[in-house]
Amino acid sequence: MVLPIELNARQEKIVEIVKDYGPITGEQIAEQLDLTRATLRPDLAILTMAGYLDARPRVGYFYTGKTSAQLLTEKIRQIKVKDYLSLPVVVQEASTVYDAICTMFLEDVGTLFVVDKGAKLAGVLSRKDLLRASMGNQELNSIPVSIIMTRMPNITVCTKEDYLIEVAEKLIDKQIDAVPVIKGTDDEDAYEVIGRITKTNITKALVDFSGDAII
């Protein structure tokens, strides 16, 4: 991932020249700035990788017409789940509600993923599920999580190749805190949980892009 950096004065001038005279070669840009082609090479490479300029062999540089906001949006939309996923926290389907509450507390998470004997995804447990189960005079050591967990097809999942922005939209739409990352398969009974995406992961991705202004 190309880190966002500020556009310096020379890079701004290069962009203006290409905008006014493109397509234009690197040699012609260097001539207008009274600099050598070698001196400009790093700036041209940065501007091209960032998306401000487009380069075509034996033709020259073109101005793409994209604003900083557009470029930033494009970069955010290119982030994939695999870039920010966390390790999943799982409990067995036979675990009790008490066991699940202890695991959630010790791991400091808001969502648990329930797996069956074959380590495949069987359900999801949220804080609300466990709080609801613990209300009243119920014996939490005798209630299996399989009774209170959310089951398929009501579980929202994603794969590591999905785009993070799409998962963020799912979190908002479904009003949930986390989504299990599974190995891609069409069989809902064979989902293997390999990670999780939470609101914290989404926030971290945004913070990574907020430190500097993109060129």
- The answer to whether the 9-66 and 81-207 domains have the same CATH topology is no
Residue 108 reports pLDDT greater than 80: yes
Query: Which pLDDT tens digit goes with each residue over 46-105?
Result: 888 877 888 888 888 988 877 666 666 777 788 999 999 999 999 999 999 999 999 999
Q: What is the pLDDT confidence band of residue 197, given thresholds at 50, 70 and 90? A: very high
Q: Which CATH class is domain 81-207?
A: alpha beta
Those residues whose C-beta lies under 8 Å from the C-beta of residue 10, and which sit 6 or more positions away, are 33, 43
Model pLDDT, residue 1 = 42
DSSP state letter for 197: E
Count of CB atoms situated within 10 Å of the CB of 69: 9
- Note the CATH number of domain 9-66: 1.10.10.10
Here the tokens at position 98 are 């008490």
Assign 3-class secondary structure to 78-140: CCEHHHCCECCCEEECCCEHHHHHHHHHHHCCCEEEEECCCCCEEEEEEHHHHHHHHCCCCCH
Long-range pairs of 24-33 with CB within 8 A, sequence gap ≥ 24: 24/60, 24/61, 25/60, 25/61, 26/60, 26/61, 28/60, 29/61
Specify the higher pLDDT residue, 64 or 181: 181
What are the extents of the domains in the chain? Answer: 9-66, 81-207
CA distance 114 to 124: 6
Specify the higher pLDDT residue, 31 or 74: 31
pTM, rounded to two decimals: 0.68
Model pLDDT, residue 212 = 47
Query: Which pLDDT tens digit goes with each residue over 119-139?
Result: 999 999 999 999 988 887 678
| Owner of token pair 């913070």 | 207
Model pLDDT, residue 2 = 42
Residue 42 reports pLDDT greater than 50: yes
CA distance 117 to 24: 64
| Mean of all residue pLDDT scores within the chain | 87
